[in-house]
Amino acid sequence: MSLFERIQNDMYVAMKAGEKEKSNTLRTTLAKLKDKRIEKRDDLSEAEAIKVLQTLVKQRKESVELFEKGGRPELAASENGEIDILNSYLPQMISEDEIRNIVQTVIDEVGAVSMADLGKVMPQVMERGKGLIDGKTAQQFVREILG
């Protein structure tokens, strides 16, 4: 069963069970996946579907940040709930320790010595993570090590 079909089935189950938040989140996710499929004019591969979900999670995290700064904890909590739902469909991300090790290895291999080398380091780190690395966390580690 594809990721799209799994999300669709779970949405129907959530609707029947009266789980409004979950069904709304999955409905929005399906709409984004369908939009991407229409844009591509072909079915999405699993990797492309995962990329769409990762984008949605990233948007939610940015919203949480803004809501917390704006003093709207109830909206931040709602977004966090959506993040949890979306994360259940994503492969397990690499741990922070592993990210730090990958960053250190790449810095050593590339010979990076300052923040000017950020452009050399980040693409290699993201490539080695094969989509399972949070770019923001990786960049933070690169800044710590090189800064």
- The DSSP code sequence of 15-34 is HHHT-HHHHHHHHHHHHHHH
Residue 125 pLDDT greater than 80, yes or no: yes
Provide the CATH number for the domain around residue 112: 1.10.10.410
Same-domain status, 35 and 66: yes
Q: How many domains does the chain have?
A: 2
Residue 42 tokens, joined: 């072909």
Instruction: Return the higher-pLDDT residue of 137 and 88.
Output: 88
Same-domain status, 69 and 7: yes
Dmax over CA atoms of the chain, in Å, equals: 57
In tens, the pLDDT along 58-107 reads: 999 999 999 999 999 999 999 999 999 999 998 887 888 888 888 888 88
Nearest to 85 by CA among 12, 134, 14: 14
| Residue 28: band (very low, low, confident or very high) from pLDDT cuts 50, 70, 90 | very high
Same-domain status, 34 and 102: no
For residue 115, give its domain range.
96-146
Burial zone of 7 (CB within 10 Å; 0-12 exposed, 13-18 middle, 19+ buried) = buried
